[in-house]
Amino acid sequence: MLSLGIVGLPNVGKSSLFNALTSAKAEAANYPFCTIDPNIGVVNVPDPRLDRLAEIVLPQRTLPAGVQFVDIAGLVKGASKGEGRGNAFLSNIRETDAIVHVVRCFEDHDVTHVDGSVDPVRDRETIEFELALADLSSVEKRLEKAKRTARIGDKAAAVEAAALQKANDQLAEGRALWHVPLTPEERGLLQPLALLTLKPILYAANVTDAELSGPEGPHVTALRAAIERDHEPAEVVTFSAKIEMELAELPAEERGEFLTHLGIESAGLDRLIRGGYHLLGLQTYFTAGEKEVRAWTIHRGDTAPQAAGVIHSDFERGFIRAETVSYDDFVRTGGWKGAKDAGVVRSEGKEYVVQDGDVLLFRFNV
């Protein structure tokens, strides 16, 4: 399951976004530090293809893919040193796949900003600095241990120490590790530390209703320019916390009409999930049988055995072949029988690279 950790300064719309996405009703108020404990919620990945498959197969149950959101206390300057309680909860997002950094890109005199003015570029730098110093604490501890081991002649420890020193030098300047050109080997050595500034970042820009349906505002433009300038591996998704909260109060069947009335193509949840999938190189395949129609999340480039392993490790270990049909062919021919009669079902082996939307039936023996 895709897991996204939500960070940001106080009063930027973090908890409002979390509430709207998960209907978990986390505390949201116009003052700093109102979120004391981390909030965790799981939402279904919207995918109309899954509904269409269910209409054809008529299974006993339909299971969409899921995304876990972890919302922690708003971070402020000094969070890495314990200010505002923020650092106490950074550990809760170390195991997430990516970070959603909510930035305020709207003006509203009734909603205070912790730094007195709206400036998403400054806010981005504040959060980056605090995440970098939190990572520095982890790297320093590991570096000292690696150096001690390297001094007694351990070559592997010496290699690890070199990678840690490279990371340490960058983090000590308050700069994230995504600015550092790391080799695959160095990334592998740093991976066990689950460093926050090695995670991909999805910026969720909280904008006004007008900016969501019309031209991009100056704050979002400035944010995009700063990201491009720093060559940061990140994406920007715009949303309106106000609209998302209104959507959350509506019955599901009325949400589409509400968005159309506002001139908005899709809800913030849809855009966030699409952004996360694109950022992390994820895609979806389906299994479709009488008992269950289900969506599964894998990485682009995964082979059939790797896709099978998402269901169960036995499927990957004992993989024989995958009966495969594209989503379009499955729908066009009316299901497995029609697809087989039309000759569009393929038998794929261990080298097959699964495509987005493939409908798969695995054959395995353990």
Confidence of residue 31 (pLDDT cuts 50, 70, 90): very low
CA dist 68 and 256 (Å) reads 23
Phi-psi region of 236 (alpha: psi -120 to 50; beta: other; left: phi over 0): beta
Confidence of residue 250 (pLDDT cuts 50, 70, 90): confident
Average pLDDT over residues 100-110: 87
CA dist 155 and 166 (Å) reads 17
- Other C-beta atoms within 10 Å of 264: how many? 18
> By the 8 A CB rule, do 104 and 74 touch?
no
pLDDT digits (tens, 9 = 90+) for 167-220: 999 999 999 998 888 999 999 999 999 999 999 999 999 998 888 888 889 999
CA dist 283 and 243 (Å) reads 28
CA dist 72 and 70 (Å) reads 7
Distance of alpha carbon 126 from the chain centroid? 21
CA dist 71 and 79 (Å) reads 15
pTM for the model stands at 0.84
pLDDT digits (tens, 9 = 90+) for 284-321: 999 999 999 999 999 999 999 999 999 999 999 999 99
CA dist 267 and 243 (Å) reads 9
β-pair partners for 2: 67
* pLDDT at residue 34 greater than cutoff 60: no
* String of DSSP letters for 291-306: SEEEEEEEETT-BHHH
pLDDT digits (tens, 9 = 90+) for 118-175: 999 999 999 999 899 989 999 999 999 999 999 998 999 999 999 999 999 999 999 9
Confidence of residue 79 (pLDDT cuts 50, 70, 90): low
Six-digit token string for 38: 């981390």
pLDDT digits (tens, 9 = 90+) for 53-64: 999 999 999 999
| DSSP 8-state symbol, 106 | -
> By the 8 A CB rule, do 105 and 120 touch?
yes
* pLDDT at residue 254 greater than cutoff 70: yes
